Amino acid sequence: MTAERDADVSLTAVLTLSGPARDAPGTLELHGPLEPLLLEAALARVAAGRPELRGTRPRTVRRGPGRHTLEADAPYPLGVLADLLTAAVPGPAGEHGAGGGKHRILARRQPVAALPELLALTPLQRELLSDTADRPQQQVAQLFQRWHGPLDTGRFTAAWQSVFDHETVLRSAFVWDPQPRIALHARARPEVVRHEHGALTWQALVEQERARGFGLGRPGPLRFALLDGAPQEPGDGCVPPTDVLLTYHRGLLDSRSVRLLLHEFYRAYLSASSPHGGERRPDLRDYRRWLSAQDPAPARDFWTRTGVAPSAGLPRARPGAVTGRQGTGRALARLTRAEAARLADWTARRGTTESGALQAVWAMVLFRTGGADRGPAPVGFHVTLSGRGIPMEGVEHIPGLFDNPLPMSLDVDPEGTVSALLRDVRDRVLDMAAYEWVSAGQIRQWRGLDADVDAPETLLSFEPRPRPLEGLTAQLAVQGIYVEEAAPVGGRTVFPMDVVAHHDHLGGLALTSVNDRGRLHDDHAAQMLAQSARLLRELPGSAGDSTTVAEALSTLADADAPRLYDRPTAAVDRRLVRLRGAARPGAVTVCLIAPPGTPLDRYVDLARHYQGPEALTVLRADVARMPEAVEALRPLLAAGARPVLGGFSGAGALACELARHIAAGSGRAPLVVVGAAHDADGDRVCGLTRALGAAARRAD
């Protein structure tokens, strides 16, 4: 994603803190053109988020062209201010200073750059960022679709630009102040990259895009990679299909949202002009306000009464046992179109759904892993609820992160009937849906459970049937275009095992499992998926009203019982990563601050541009684990190294918090340098490297 940004309005900031106390004086040096109205807007934004600061502001001293210093004697979040100013996006060309007379005066009253609007994270977003802080690839998800017919790259990009302009979430990013927040930017451009046939394989493209991750400080949680199909024989008149890979950040979007956005895109692609009129409302800001107004007491009462027993999941391997594997395993199973139709008819006649049947079958498979001869027992797993069944007008049309994995507990009686189990699943899901806005972390906290020990280990997700394109299919066909339904691409999993079900473009029901090889063997995950698919095929034809769970399970062949292994212990703490050593003895160390989930390639790119003799390191910092970050730096500090802390916009407040912790131990806070968000063309990277070099010379 390339945010619209002009080099001549890019600022860099250098912060000096006089000590560890929050009321210690500090200064913020700004290098680059500073529009007075932009500064006023930034100060007002800080005061709006911190009412106690109203009436308090740092002094502004102009040091020369493009050089200003802000001096704060009272407590003031200079890191937050630096992040706001360096993240400002320039206004459209011609917006300022155009026209004459009264219009010219009004134009000069507008700032030349737009500040991002800050928004608190939802509990679901906070937990996802925290759980995947050290594993950025788990924050990435992907959808795939095949485009048949002509695909004009310019028209494709322009259509997505229209959608980006309309949807606030597509112009969002993350900042830390030092707690994580969402930054809503005024503008962002979609990143569309097209690859010729033969440039790379499809699997290589999927892995490449997944490994890239997202620069969390840059707006745009959705990007596009196109891979052309094999050229056709001359004269056959056929256009080769194009594979389209949509990669998105799971902290801001879910798969249902991306499908909503695809519908908007098709309308824009078919329209000669933008089909939208301004921003969508309601949007994620309205949802956040709705969420803040909810009383958690009824939800707390429900979830504390209907929790999951800690022993209700997969049987555990013996303590200390390991799988000896790393990475992610995948397995596939599929019901044909006829089998899927038979399942849908069977569940409808029993007053439930296909997703309810999958949940009941999964409960039976989990029950079987504990032994075929046992009596009634609880089983527990997570199910993904849509999060859109809440009483908020228009929520079904808002793109964002709503899909919510919540714990489900069921009592499985082998002598009970399959029909009764289906009813239990249906009733439990209906009860859960009343509080589907609550996060799993809140539930664990209310019940006093440990996240690593007591959480169910598997997750079931059932993608809804694709929405009709409402006439768009025919309009696309007129232009010789047919696009297959978007399908999920299996990625990294936070759970030991995920299962995703979706209807494919042929009408079948596809089941995909993804397992953590360090916690569950591939063959065991594939076995459980195959057993589930077999039951979904056979039950509609064999299960009567009196068929028991034990009778249904008796059709499955005997196999080794799956075992869940303890989470592997990390061999090396990679919180501090060395990019390069110093070019001369005694040189300063530049420590780049990587907020949680930030891919390291952003900093490798910076290291290639950096010209100074200083050593370069990257530190993964998180306000919730600041002592660990300081501990990772301790060898450098003990050796007398004089670090300079730096980072892209969005890391300033986090770096200031770390500087205070360092000052508490050494008596002296390091300089903090903040530059504009990482930009693929290198302009902003070079601006930050120059500022880091100047700060390093001052600290030397």
Query: How does residue 278 score in pLDDT terms, banded at 50, 70 and 90?
Result: confident
DSSP 390-444: SS-TTGGG--SS--EEEEEEEEE-TTSBHHHHHHHHHHHHHHHHTTTTS-HHHHH
- Tokens 């409402």 belong to residue: 470
168/568 Cα distance (integer angstroms): 39
In this predicted model, what pLDDT tens digit does every residue of 310-324 receive, in sequence order? 557 888 899 889 998
Q: Is residue 606 a contact partner of residue 618, using CB atoms and an 8 Å limit?
A: no
**Residues 362, 409: Cα–Cα separation, whole Å:** 12
The total of other beta-carbon atoms located within 10 Å of residue 667's CB is 9
- Average pLDDT rounded to a whole number, residues 591-616: 87
278 against 512, higher pLDDT = 512
The answer to whether the beta carbons of residues 130 and 477 sit under 8 Å apart is no
684, pLDDT greater than 50? yes
Distance, in Å, from the CA atom of 388 to the CA atom of 59, rounded to the nearest integer, reads 47
Measured in residues, the chain has a length of 700
For residue 268, give the nearest of 167, 163, 397 by alpha carbon.
Answer: 163
Q: Which two tokens stand for residue 493?
A: 């999993």
114 pLDDT band (50/70/90 cuts)?
A: confident
Q: Lowest-pLDDT range, 27-31, 334-338, 439-443, 598-602?
A: 598-602
pLDDT in tens, 530-551: 999 999 999 999 999 999 999 9
Over residues 594-616, mean pLDDT: 86
Cα–Cα distances in angstroms (integers) from residue 155 to residues 160, 401, 476, in the given order:
9, 28, 14
Residue reference for tokens 């916690």: 519
* DSSP symbols for 571-582: SS--SEEEEE--
Considering 77-86, 418-427, 449-458, 584-593, the range whose residues carry the highest mean pLDDT is 418-427
Summarised one tens digit per residue, pLDDT across range 433-456 is: 999 999 999 998 998 877 555 566
pLDDT at residue 155, as a whole number:
95
The fraction of the chain above a pLDDT of 90, given in percent, is: 57
Residue 596 is predicted with a pLDDT of: 83
Q: Would you state the structure tokens that stand for residue 635, as one six-digit string?
A: 């060898």
> Cα 11 to chain center, whole Å?
27
Six token digits for residue 340: 């899927």
pLDDT at 572 over 60: no
- Secondary structure of 459-512 in HEC code, one letter for each residue: EEEECCCCCCCCCHHHHHHHCCCEECCCEEECCCCCCCEEEEEEECCCCCEEEE
Residues of the chain with pLDDT > 70, as a percent, come to: 90
- Tokens representing 151? 């695909």
Token pair for 480: 């010789």
The CATH architecture annotation of domain 135-280 reads: 2-Layer Sandwich (3.30)
Alpha helices (H) along 510-592:
522-542, 549-553
Interval 127-146 mean pLDDT: 86
Residues 6+ apart with CB under 8 A from 563: 314, 315, 316, 317, 321, 520, 521, 524
What is d(CA 284, CA 282) in angstroms, rounded to the nearest whole number? 7
- pLDDT number for residue 2: 33
**Confidence check: pLDDT of 469 > 50:** yes
How far apart are alpha carbons 59 and 70 in whole angstroms? 5
For range 476-505, the mean pLDDT: 90
- Rounded Cα distance between 653 and 82, Å, is 8
Contact 147, 244 (CB under 8 A): yes
Q: Does residue 603 contact residue 579 with C-beta atoms inside 8 Å?
A: yes
Please, is 182 exposed, middle or buried when counting C-beta atoms within 10 Å of its C-beta (0-12, 13-18, 19+)?
Answer: buried
- Pick from 89, 86, 112: which is nearest to 13 by CA? 86
Listed by start position, the domains of the chain span: 7-118, 135-280, 305-318+325-457+495-553
Instruction: Report, as an integer, the average pLDDT of 1-28.
Output: 71
Residue 233 Cα distances to 236, 238, 239, angstroms: 6, 8, 10
| Parallel/antiparallel/unpaired status of strands 89-90 and 113-114 | antiparallel
Mean pLDDT, the chain, rounded, equals 87
CA dihedral (367, 370, 376, 377) positive or negative: negative
For position 153, what pLDDT does the model report?
96
Determine which of 167-171, 346-350, 435-439, 576-580 has the lowest per-residue pLDDT on average: 576-580
Q: Which of 518, 513, 512, 500 minimizes the C-alpha distance to 563?
A: 518
Residue range 354-402, pLDDT digits in tens: 999 999 999 999 999 987 567 899 999 999 999 999 999 999 999 999 9
Return the structure tokens found at 98.
């155009």
- Provide the pLDDT for residue 234: 67
Residue with token string 């005061």:
47
The pLDDT tens digits of the residues spanning 658-672 come to 999 999 888 789 999
Please list, residue by residue across 130-147, b when 16 or more beta carbons sit within 10 angstroms of its beta carbon and e when fewer do: bbbbeebbbbbbbbbbbb
Count of alpha carbons within 13 angstroms of residue 160, beta-carbon side? 23
Question: Sorting pLDDT into bands at 50, 70 and 90, what band is 274?
Answer: low
Q: Is the pLDDT of residue 99 over 70?
A: no
pLDDT in tens, 159-214: 999 999 999 999 999 988 888 999 999 999 999 999 999 999 999 999 999 988 88
- 695 CB neighbour count, 10 Å cutoff: 25
Q: Mean pLDDT throughout 689-700?
A: 89
pLDDT at 91: 52
User: 102, exposed or middle or buried, with CB in 10 Å at 0-12, 13-18, 19+?
Assistant: exposed
Q: Above 90 in pLDDT, residue 142?
A: yes
Q: Which helix (H) or strand (E) holds 661?
A: helix 652-666
CATH code: domain 305-318+325-457+495-553 is: 3.30.559.30
Q: Please check whether the two domains, 135-280 and 305-318+325-457+495-553, share a CATH topology.
A: yes
Of the two residues 99 and 531, the one the predictor is more confident about is 531
Q: What is the pTM of this model?
A: 0.87
Residue 410 has pLDDT above 60, yes or no: yes
